[in-house]
């Protein structure tokens, strides 16, 4: 019996290969979207988990000098002898490669990729001519030292014993930090007594690479979540289609004596096989997507945060598994409803439409109630949420609540339209659309989510970009920037430029700890450039005057938020007090920053010599100035960067960041379009009996086809209207909650009506494309099929 | 593989004790000095480090009791191992140091470990004024009165040692033969330390007194290639006599034994292979023998040696068993037992 | 006795409240007997047929087929009866559209594990379907489809054949041909036949006739 039933079930697919294709394609697409995003995420995460682990970043607290400068390595021994289990680290960059020196005997267990492989002995690692460990890519860029290739080492990083790293970095005798091991012994001496210069940095401090890159992952994770939701809708649609189309067959099989339980079981097995097949295809597709996106992701992360991510993708079993699990799990979730419905389906065709309608009404009420509940929760969260978890809960409740509420909203809208409709055709159109709504609602929810995500993410991205460009205008106000090689060149430059330019603005900075946070302090020369171009988020009325008087300091938003510093608070630098008079936006910079007057800076940090200079001049003179400068001082034009160049570089970095976003946007929309197509195909089988009377009463099949198309576009239109406010709410949540939690600054939100319009057009286009084929099929329905409706009882 | 595993490999010279140190025999040479018979010990110099020998240790064990008579065991050990027969300043030093500290009660066993390299000052041994240290742990003094400390996240101790007798030399005036093929070490002890101080345990601080035994040993090739580990007994009889006995296990199942009989005034008698016997009687859950029959017929010794706490396993990079014991039979007393090669 | 229906009651819930379709129906059918069940629309004749076929459950009463009471049986047991002993010919043919004519004819016999290729072939020949075996149902006319359905029902040689307006969707000439074939084959296999029809002419061709009126045998 099983074989006969299975043959009957499967024969359906061979006779209707297109349906098989849609089912498999739907499942595969959903899986691909999910696993693609996951793959990118996992790959990038793995890459800088390795990087972070190298230094114990994000894992271990560390001691650094209060002033941020390197400490004498003897401090390490003193701390050890005082009972502190600490391990020294020296680090720096050489030709762009991060060089890290560690002390393996005292380093915490499992500290990063110092796992060097069994064939390397410590005698080789310690002492004399010790090798550096790096992955193959990095090794190619390291010259002059012995390199051992080890793929466990983070990208663009070379690890060596501390002594060797000190020599290479020219930091003999000094170390940058002491990693504090967990499990300190009892009876140790107070650190303040042993090494009063040191301050303890708590592991999850805001300046970690890990923390920063998390923000990008949040972005991707949000997409992963969305794609998953959209994917589930698709799978649901695909399975609904498969079940709807085989409903009569199922009834016949039961009438012929196939027990219900066996039928349900066999169909479940059949679905499982399809899910696995589609899952494998989907994961492979996802891999392709990920492989295409990854170089951009890597570039983005490197550009934005300086985190090194290998630009290659490894096949990780974890996302093979997660991809298959999503396909199977998604199918199970989507199919459980259909299977339950199947098992409740009365054997006799004489279903009571009224009772079914009543059940559907009840379900709609439950769904509406749930939507209301979720949306209320999101309202509460909008006011209260302040961390990443809260931010994501807000996103989740908002999205799901809105999606669940959509059918109800559309139903109400259509009811209003139908009461106001003039003429019989229009009246029928609205009423018929309303009747179709339950069948289309899943696809429309998918469309809603896709559009809202698009609106939300593009608003965030464009706001980010707009703010950033404005910020570049402020911060790169000088027409020309020149980097000198030494003091002599600096002097020569100043002497040469003094008479020729409007102003020389030396740029000097020192690494410091401000309010317990690592930060850079910059000097500013008293000049209109600052007063004219810098925009404060908060400031006293005469912020620059106060700053240039030497009594005050202005700080960036990150520092203000992380160290909880408000205006008029007093900060100490080298035991000198400064009043905070301004807080400025500082986008794209991971750490805290502050600006003080040049004379004060020079007094506090006499060892810092300016080697970067901003020159104010007529932009038209830049070229002549550069050639004259070279002739007079030997400073090559290659040492100069003009403002336009810096801006272009910065903008390019941003463009790349958002390539990924755009690609995912398009994919999501395409997938939503696919969902619509499948829903319409599902409905098409049920449509003929509904349309036949309209046809019989004088509407041509062409007209019917057009009406069907118009209906899809109209529904997409209405959905777009709901998606816009939802997307804006989403953007607000991303900018005001998630971004603050992840990056440490809040972005002003801008609106981009033209973008939204374009998006809406795309969505309508997707809907129209999806509806075109079913409409065409309808227009070509043989009259005989329509006639059958009247000869056949259904 | 993490750093610790890596280290365990590197510390093979030290690991050599605990595991079959097949490598140690072949690893000799490379310019390391070999112990020779007839050495004239010079003090305080020889209390210090001998960087031209591959391995060396300062190894103290103590049997303690508190006011109620509850027994405790204590261990403080500093190991030195050299990757090259030289010392230099800074990170490039080839001298590596490993400290082990333990406190054993009847029911608990506390263990901790420290690692360091020489050259930086993090660890080392200076002969005069004598000081052996790693991190905040130290053993310091003039060998008459000494201070000793160690600490861990869950325990610490602070002890004062007072010598009650002379140094004793094992084997042939301190030249201690370890196998039939001639592997040997320089080996002397101070078994007559009276010890008092405080143990800081999770349950509170305990004032304790007792006897401590400090071993000094160095060599470049400790065991022959077919030796897999050893069992070492330091027994203090109620009569005032003491017995050091060791049994080196061989891959062929036979063993090589050596022993030193120490009278209360510090007179020693060394016994050659075969005079001293140690036979396992019963083992703990991990198959480590914790009750032994120990005999030295020439001194009419036939005693049972039993662990005070069977679970005195040292969970260090190189694991072994080390703990206090009681002695019963023809002689009664207390002592310490060390067993390697059982992991 | 092949079929013994005793005091069957059945009530449906409708929008206007409960509606009692059958109010105590008794009927008996012996082996080889043919019986026509007539009545007006809504008299309950199709409902009675569905109950006998195990497609629905009575509220009260017994339906004994070959000694088994299916009225109280669970879904699996009723499915087994449908598969093995009872064949139903529906008004709407209920063929499986994705299977060929040959596979459709063999289908129920295969389900019941009673597939006899020669008998199936003979059935197809008798029904005039020999040239259409490789076709799909949608390629056949209504009369041909119903002949496929009848062949499918008879392929496992059921003891009892139930027919619900089997020619209701066919024109008069086709209906007569199909009816002749069904009666002949039923007689050949010795099966009992219970047919629901509103056509007095058709009913007249069967051995006995019962008339249902307002849920009772009139």
| Per-residue pLDDT reduced to its tens digit, A488-513 | 888 888 888 888 888 898 888 888 88
Find the closest chain C residue to A6 by CA distance: C111
Q: Do C55 and A15 touch (CB under 8 A)?
A: no
C60 vs A384 pLDDT, higher one: C60
A757 Cα to chain C: minimum distance (Å) = 46
Q: Are A615 and A482 in contact (CB under 8 A)?
A: yes
Q: Are B89 and B71 in contact (CB under 8 A)?
A: no
A290 in any annotated domain? yes
Q: Do B136 and A116 touch (CB under 8 A)?
A: no
**Please, which residues bridge with residue B77 across strands?**
B59, B100
Average pLDDT over residues C10-22: 83
A667 in any annotated domain? no
For B93-142, how does the pLDDT look when each residue is reduced to its tens digit (9 = 90+)? 889 899 999 999 999 999 999 999 888 999 999 999 999 999 999 999 99
- The answer to whether residue A662 neighbours chain C at the CB level (below 8 Å) is no
Q: Can you say whether residue A94 is alpha, beta or left, with left for phi > 0 and alpha for psi between -120 and 50 degrees?
A: beta
Residue C159: list chain A partners with CB under 8 A: none
Q: DSSP letter at C169?
A: T
Strands A517-524 and A592-597: parallel
For B183-209, how does the pLDDT look when each residue is reduced to its tens digit (9 = 90+)? 899 999 999 999 999 999 999 999 999
C123 Cα to chain A: minimum distance (Å) = 18
Whether residue A36 is found in the same domain as residue A171: no
**Token match 């060596």: residue?**
A160
Measure CA of the first residue to CA of the last residue in chain A; give whole Å: 28
Q: Do A354 and C15 touch (CB under 8 A)?
A: yes
The span from the CA of A408 to the CA of A417, in Å, is 14
Q: Are B268 and B261 in contact (CB under 8 A)?
A: yes
**Please, which residues bridge with residue A594 across strands?**
A521, A555
pLDDT for residue A589: 63
B78 vs A454 pLDDT, higher one: B78
Do C and A share at least 3 CB pairs under 8 Å?
A: yes
A392 in any annotated domain? no
Whether residue A159 is found in the same domain as residue A236: no
Per DSSP, the three-state class of A564 is coil
Instruction: Show me where the domains of chain C are located.
Output: 3-217
Q: Do C111 and A4 touch (CB under 8 A)?
A: yes
The span from the CA of A661 to the CA of A227, in Å, is 13
Q: DSSP letter at A748?
A: P
The chains in contact with chain A, meaning 3 or more Cβ pairs closer than 8 Å, are B, C
Tell me the pLDDT band of B328, cut-offs 50, 70 and 90.
Answer: very high
For C146-193, how does the pLDDT look when each residue is reduced to its tens digit (9 = 90+)? 889 888 888 888 889 998 888 877 778 778 887 888 888 778 888 889
Tell me the pLDDT band of B245, cut-offs 50, 70 and 90.
Answer: very high
Whether residue A240 is found in the same domain as residue A333: yes
Retrieve residue A751's tokens. Answer: 């609106």
Q: Do A80 and B135 touch (CB under 8 A)?
A: yes
Strand positions, DSSP E, A621-669 = 640-642
For B141-169, how does the pLDDT look when each residue is reduced to its tens digit (9 = 90+)? 999 999 999 999 999 999 999 999 999 99
Residue A82: list chain B partners with CB under 8 A: 136
The chains in contact with chain C, meaning 3 or more Cβ pairs closer than 8 Å, are A
**DSSP sequence for A154-189:** PTTEEEEEHHHHHHHHT-TTEESEEEEPSSPPTTPP
pLDDT for residue A53: 53
Residue A187: list chain B partners with CB under 8 A: 136, 151, 156, 200
Whether residue A182 is found in the same domain as residue A121: yes
pLDDT for residue B22: 33
Q: Return the minimum-mean-pLDDT range out of A430-434, A654-658, A701-705, B146-150.
A: A654-658
Q: Do B94 and A76 touch (CB under 8 A)?
A: no
Prediction pTM value: 0.53
Average pLDDT over residues A431-439: 80
Find the closest chain B residue to A85 by CA distance: B135
C114 Cα to chain A: minimum distance (Å) = 10
Select from A300, A330, A351 the last residue of a domain: A351
For C24-39, how does the pLDDT look when each residue is reduced to its tens digit (9 = 90+)? 889 999 888 899 998 8
A467 in any annotated domain? no
Whether residue A242 is found in the same domain as residue A316: yes
C96 vs A300 pLDDT, higher one: C96
Q: Across all residues in chain A, what is the average pLDDT?
A: 77
Average pLDDT over residues A692-704: 78
For each of the domains in chain B, give its residue range(s) and CATH number, in order of start.
3-34+42-339 (2.40.370.10)
A328 Cα to chain B: minimum distance (Å) = 35
For A760-784, how does the pLDDT look when each residue is reduced to its tens digit (9 = 90+)? 888 888 888 888 888 888 888 777 7
What is the number of domains present in chain A?
3
Average pLDDT over residues A548-559: 89
In the predicted structure, residue B306 carries a pLDDT above the cut 80: yes
A100 Cα to chain B: minimum distance (Å) = 15
A133 Cα to chain B: minimum distance (Å) = 14
How many contacts, defined by CB atoms under 8 Å, are there between A and B? 103
B278 vs A295 pLDDT, higher one: B278
pLDDT for residue B2: 31
Whether residue A484 is found in the same domain as residue A589: yes
Q: Are C52 and C161 in contact (CB under 8 A)?
A: no
The span from the CA of A560 to the CA of A591, in Å, is 11
- The residue segments making up the domain with residue A635 are 474-648
Q: Is the peptide bond prior to B44 cis by the omega test (within 30 degrees of 0)?
A: yes
> How many other CB atoms are there within 10 angstroms of residue B266's CB atom?
15
Element (H, E) at A288: helix A260-305
Nearest to B153 among A103, A126, A184 (CB): A184
Whether residue A155 is found in the same domain as residue A281: no
pLDDT for residue A15: 82
Whether residue A67 is found in the same domain as residue A144: yes
B315 vs A56 pLDDT, higher one: B315
Per DSSP, the three-state class of A77 is helix
For B3-37, how does the pLDDT look when each residue is reduced to its tens digit (9 = 90+)? 333 333 333 333 333 333 333 444 445 688 989 99
Whether residue A18 is found in the same domain as residue A41: yes
The span from the CA of A735 to the CA of B275, in Å, is 84
What are the C-alpha distances in Å from A709 to residues A717, B277, C71, C120? 12, 100, 50, 48
The span from the CA of C197 to the CA of C37, in Å, is 6
The architecture CATH gives domain C3-217: 3-Layer(aba) Sandwich (3.40)
Q: For the packed helices A424-475 and A701-733, what is the interaxial angle rounded to 10 degrees?
A: 30
Best B135, B152, B203 residue to mutate vs chain A (most A CBs within 10 Å): B135
Q: Do C56 and A791 touch (CB under 8 A)?
A: no
- The answer to whether residue B146 neighbours chain A at the CB level (below 8 Å) is no
Q: Do A186 and B151 touch (CB under 8 A)?
A: yes
A562 in any annotated domain? yes
A136 in any annotated domain? yes
Buried b (16+ CB within 10 A) or exposed e, A262-279: ebeebbeebbeebbeebb
Best C13, C79, C134, C135 residue to mutate vs chain A (most A CBs within 10 Å): C79
Residue B136: list chain A partners with CB under 8 A: 80-83, 185, 187-188
Among candidates A124, A719, A241, A61, which has minimal Cα distance to A444? A719
Residue A347: list chain C partners with CB under 8 A: 55-56
Q: What is the edge-to-edge ordering of all strands in the sheet holding C3-14? A: C17-29, C3-14, C60-65, C68-69
Select from A202, A237, A272 the last residue of a domain: A202
Find the closest chain A residue to B201 by CA distance: A186
In the predicted structure, residue B38 carries a pLDDT above the cut 60: yes
pLDDT for residue A126: 52
Select from A330, A351, A372 the last residue of a domain: A351
A150 Cα to chain B: minimum distance (Å) = 13
A176 in any annotated domain? yes
User: For chain B, percent helix, then strand, then coil, each to nearest 5?
Assistant: 10, 55, 40
Q: What is the dihedral of CA A543, A548, A550, A556, to 10 degrees?
A: 50
Do B and C share at least 3 CB pairs under 8 Å?
A: no
In the predicted structure, residue A125 carries a pLDDT above the cut 70: no
The span from the CA of C195 to the CA of C36, in Å, is 5
How many contacts, defined by CB atoms under 8 Å, are there between A and C? 83
The span from the CA of A783 to the CA of A700, in Å, is 10
What are the C-alpha distances in Å from A599 to residues A169, A476, A547, A595? 31, 22, 11, 12
Determine phi and psi for A504, rounding to 5 degrees: -110, 125
Whether residue A179 is found in the same domain as residue A66: yes
Whether residue A631 is found in the same domain as residue A540: yes
Residue B152: list chain A partners with CB under 8 A: 185-186
What are the C-alpha distances in Å from A272 to residues A107, A232, C31? 49, 15, 46
Report the largest interatomic distance among the alpha carbons of chain B, rounded to a whole angstrom. 54
Residue A166: list chain B partners with CB under 8 A: 91
The span from the CA of A263 to the CA of A343, in Å, is 9
A341 in any annotated domain? yes
Q: Across all residues in chain B, what is the average pLDDT?
A: 88
Find the closest chain A residue to B10 by CA distance: A122
Q: Do A256 and C107 touch (CB under 8 A)?
A: yes
Nearest to A793 among C76, C92, C96 (CB): C92
Per DSSP, the three-state class of C50 is helix
């Amino acid at each position: 019996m099983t074989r006969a039933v299975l043959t009957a079930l499967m024969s359906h697919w061979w006779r209707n290969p297109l349906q098989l294709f849609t089912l498999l394609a739907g499942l595969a697409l959903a899986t691909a979207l999910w696993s693609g995003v996951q793959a990118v995420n996992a790959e990038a995460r793995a890459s800088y988990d390795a990087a972070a682990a190298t230094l114990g970043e994000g894992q271990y607290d560390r001691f650094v000098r209060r002033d941020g400068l390197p400490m004498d390595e003897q401090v390490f021994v003193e701390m050890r002898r005082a009972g502190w289990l600490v391990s020294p680290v020296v680090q720096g960059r050489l030709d762009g490669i991060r060089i890290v020196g560690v002390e393996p005997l005292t380093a915490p267990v499992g500290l990063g990729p110092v796992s060097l492989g069994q064939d390397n002995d410590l005698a080789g690692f310690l002492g004399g001519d010790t090798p550096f460990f790096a992955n193959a890519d990095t090794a190619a860029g390291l010259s002059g030292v012995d390199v051992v290739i080890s793929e466990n080492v983070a990208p663009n990083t070379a690890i060596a014993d501390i002594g060797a790293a000190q020599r290479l970095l020219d930091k003999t005798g000094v170390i940058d930090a002491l990693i504090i091991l967990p499990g300190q012994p009892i009876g140790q001496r107070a650190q303040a007594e042993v090494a009063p210069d040191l301050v303890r940095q708590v592991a999850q401090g805001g300046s970690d690479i890990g923390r920063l890159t998390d923000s990008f992952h949040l972005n991707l994770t949000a997409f992963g979540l969305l794609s998953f939701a959209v994917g589930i809708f698709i799978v649901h649609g695909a399975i609904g289609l498969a079940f709807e189309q085989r409903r009569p067959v199922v009834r016949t099989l039961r009438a012929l004596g196939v027990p219900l339980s066996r039928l349900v079981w066999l169909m479940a097995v059949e679905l499982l096989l399809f899910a696995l097949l589609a899952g494998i295809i989907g994961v492979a597709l996802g891999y392709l997507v990920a492989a295409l996106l990854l170089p951009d992701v890597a570039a983005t992360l490197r550009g934005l945060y300086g985190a090194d991510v290998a630009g290659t993708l490894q096949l990780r079993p974890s996302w093979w598994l997660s991809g298959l699990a999503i396909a199977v799990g998604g199918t199970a979730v989507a199919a459980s409803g259909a299977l339950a419905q199947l098992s409740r389906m009365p054997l006799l065709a004489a279903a009571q439409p009224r009772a079914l309608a009543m059940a559907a009404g009840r379900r709609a009420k439950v769904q509406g109630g749930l939507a209301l509940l979720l949306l209320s929760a999101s309202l509460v969260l909008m006011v209260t949420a302040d961390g990443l978890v809260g931010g994501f809960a807000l996103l989740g409740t908002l999205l799901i609540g809105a999606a669940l509420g959509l059918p109800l909203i559309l139903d109400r809208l259509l009811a209003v339209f139908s009461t106001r409709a003039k003429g019989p055709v229009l009246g029928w159109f609205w009423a018929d659309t309303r009747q179709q709504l339950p069948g289309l609602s899943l696809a429309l929810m998918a469309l809603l989510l896709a559009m809202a995500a698009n609106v939300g993410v593009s608003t965030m991205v464009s706001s980010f970009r707009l703010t950033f460009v404005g910020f570049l205008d402020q911060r790169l106000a000088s027409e020309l920037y020149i980097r000198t090689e030494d003091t002599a060149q600096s002097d020569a430059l100043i002497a040469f430029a003094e008479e020729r330019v409007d102003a020389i603005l030396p740029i000097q900075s020192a690494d410091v700890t401000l309010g317990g946070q690592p930060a850079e302090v910059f000097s500013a020369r008293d000049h209109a450039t600052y007063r004219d171009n810098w925009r404060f988020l908060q400031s006293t009325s005469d912020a620059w005057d106060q700053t240039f008087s030497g009594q005050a300091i202005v700080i960036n938003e990150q520092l203000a938020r992380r160290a909880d510093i408000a205006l008029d608070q007093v900060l100490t630098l080298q035991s000198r007090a400064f009043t905070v008079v301004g807080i400025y936006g500082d986008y794209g910079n991971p750490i805290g920053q502050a600006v003080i007057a040049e004379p004060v800076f020079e007094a506090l940090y006499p060892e810092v010599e300016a080697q970067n200079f901003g020159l104010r001049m007529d932009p038209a003179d830049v070229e002549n100035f550069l050639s004259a400068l070279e002739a007079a001082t030997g400073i090559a034009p290659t040492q100069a960067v003009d403002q336009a160049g810096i801006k272009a570089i910065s903008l390019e970095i941003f463009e790349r960041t958002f390539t990924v976003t755009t690609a995912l946007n398009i994919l999501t929309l395409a997938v939503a379009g696919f969902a619509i197509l499948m829903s319409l195909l599902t409905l098409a089988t049920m449509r003929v009996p509904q349309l036949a009377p309209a046809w019989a009463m004088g509407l041509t099949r062409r007209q019917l086809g057009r009406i069907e198309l118009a209906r899809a576009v109209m529904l997409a239109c209405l959905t777009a209207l709901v998606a816009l406010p939802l997307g804006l709410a989403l953007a607000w949540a991303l900018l005001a909650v998630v971004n603050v939690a992840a990056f440490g600054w809040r972005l002003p939100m801008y609106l981009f009506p033209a973008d939204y319009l374009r998006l809406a057009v795309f969505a309508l286009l997707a809907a129209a494309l999806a509806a075109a084929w079913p409409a065409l099929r309808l227009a070509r329905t043989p009259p005989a099929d329509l006639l059958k409706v009247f000869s056949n009882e259904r | 593989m993490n750093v610790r595993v890596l280290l365990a490999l590197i510390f093979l010279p030290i690991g050599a004790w605990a595991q079959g140190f097949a490598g140690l025999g072949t690893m000799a040479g490379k310019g390391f000095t070999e112990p020779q018979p007839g050495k004239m010990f010079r003090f305080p110099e020889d209390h210090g480090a001998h960087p031209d020998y591959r391995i060396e240790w300062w190894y103290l064990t103590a049997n303690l009791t508190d006011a109620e008579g509850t027994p405790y065991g204590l261990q403080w050990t500093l190991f030195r191992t050299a990757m090259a027969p030289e010392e230099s300043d800074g990170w490039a030093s080839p001298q590596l140091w490993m400290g082990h500290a333990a406190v054993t009660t009847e029911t608990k066993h506390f263990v901790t470990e420290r690692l360091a390299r020489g050259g930086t000052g993090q660890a080392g041994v200076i002969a005069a004024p004598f000081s052996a240290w790693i991190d905040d742990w130290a053993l310091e003094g003039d060998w008459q009165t000494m201070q000793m400390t160690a600490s861990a996240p869950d325990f610490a101790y602070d002890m004062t040692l007072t010598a009650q007798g002379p140094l004793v030399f094992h084997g042939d005036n301190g030249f201690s033969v370890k196998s039939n093929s001639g592997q040997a070490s320089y080996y002397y002890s101070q078994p007559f330390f009276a010890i008092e101080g405080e143990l800081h345990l999770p349950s509170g601080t305990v004032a304790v007194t007792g006897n401590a035994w400090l071993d000094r040993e160095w060599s470049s090739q400790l065991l022959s290639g077919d030796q897999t580990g050893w069992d070492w007994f330091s027994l203090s009889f109620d009569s005032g006599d003491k017995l050091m006995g060791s049994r080196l296990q061989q891959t062929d199942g036979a063993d090589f034994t050596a022993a030193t009989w120490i009278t209360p005034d510090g007179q020693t008698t060394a016994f050659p292979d075969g005079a001293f016997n140690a036979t396992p009687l019963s083992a703990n859950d991990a198959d480590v023998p914790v009750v032994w029959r120990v005999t030295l017929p020439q001194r009419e010794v036939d005693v049972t040696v039993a662990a005070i706490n069977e679970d005195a396993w040292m969970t260090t990079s190189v694991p072994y068993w080390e703990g206090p014991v009681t002695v019963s039979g023809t002689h009664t007393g207390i002592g310490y037992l060390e067993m390697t090669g059982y992991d | 006795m092949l079929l013994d229906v005793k005091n069957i009651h059945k009530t449906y819930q409708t929008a206007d409240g409960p509606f009692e379709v059958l109010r105590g129906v008794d009927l008996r059918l012996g082996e080889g007997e043919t019986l026509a069940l007539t009545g007006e629309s809504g008299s309950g004749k199709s409902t009675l047929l569905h109950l006998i076929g195990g497609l629905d459950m009575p509220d009260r009463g017994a339906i004994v087929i070959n000694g088994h009471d299916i009225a109280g049986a669970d879904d699996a047991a009723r499915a087994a009866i449908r598969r093995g002993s009872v064949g139903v010919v529906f008004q709407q043919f209920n063929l499986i559209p994705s299977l060929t004519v040959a596979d459709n004819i063999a289908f129920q016999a295969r389900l019941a594990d009673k597939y006899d290729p020669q008998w199936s072939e003979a059935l197809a020949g008798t029904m005039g379907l020999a040239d259409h075996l490789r076709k799909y149902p949608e390629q056949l006319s209504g009369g041909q489809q119903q002949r496929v359905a009848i062949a499918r029902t008879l392929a496992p040689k059921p003891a009892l054949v139930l027919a619900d307006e089997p020619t209701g969707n066919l024109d008069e000439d086709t209906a007569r041909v199909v009816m002749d074939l069904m009666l002949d084959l039923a007689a050949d296999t010795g099966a009992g036949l219970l047919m629901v029809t509103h056509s007095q002419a058709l009913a007249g061709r069967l051995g006995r006739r019962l008339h249902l009126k307002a849920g009772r045998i009139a």
